[in-house]
Amino acid sequence: MVVTDLHGDRDAFNRCLSHFSRLYRQDAVDHLILLGDLIHGYGASEMDNSVHMVIDMMALQNTFGPDQVIMLLGNHEMPHIYGISLSKGDQDFTPRFEHALGDQRLRVLSFFDSLPFYVRTAAG
């Protein structure tokens, strides 16, 4: 199961995880691959669940294993590794996410730094 560009949308994230869990239990899928851009919601800061979603993704990898749940490094995660800013139009994403990280900053940035740019599946 491949998912991309959730951008801090908790409802979409929960639906994807629920769907994956159900299909995984039925042996209908082997892997969940998130293609990046899990973070940086476009709406109001109180609607952006990016940090909690990253922590949940880390826990999901611990539960299912990093070979079953794979997250690729997206262009929205990358600026936090290199300390650069990412913006689009009038929206500057990086400071809001950095502020929301709080005491999880080192843990989350270490996770981002460990993410691959690509994955090769058995089907090629």
Is pLDDT at 121 greater than 90 in this prediction?
no
Kindly report the pTM of this predicted structure.
0.92
The residue type of 123 is A
Yes or no: say if 115 and 71 are a contact pair by the CB < 8 Å rule. Answer: yes
Mark 64-79 as b/e (b = at least 16 C-beta within 10 Å): beeebbbbbbbebbbb
Query: Hunting for tokens 């959730």 — which residue is that?
Result: 6
**Chain segment 41-60, per-residue pLDDT in tens:** 998 888 899 999 999 999 99
Structural domains of the chain sorted by starting position, each given as residue range(s) with its CATH number in brackets: 2-114 (3.60.21.10)
Instruction: Please report which helix (H) or strand (E) contains residue 81, including its range.
Output: helix 78-82
Is pLDDT at 93 greater than 90 in this prediction?
yes
Yes or no: say if 3 and 48 are a contact pair by the CB < 8 Å rule. Answer: no
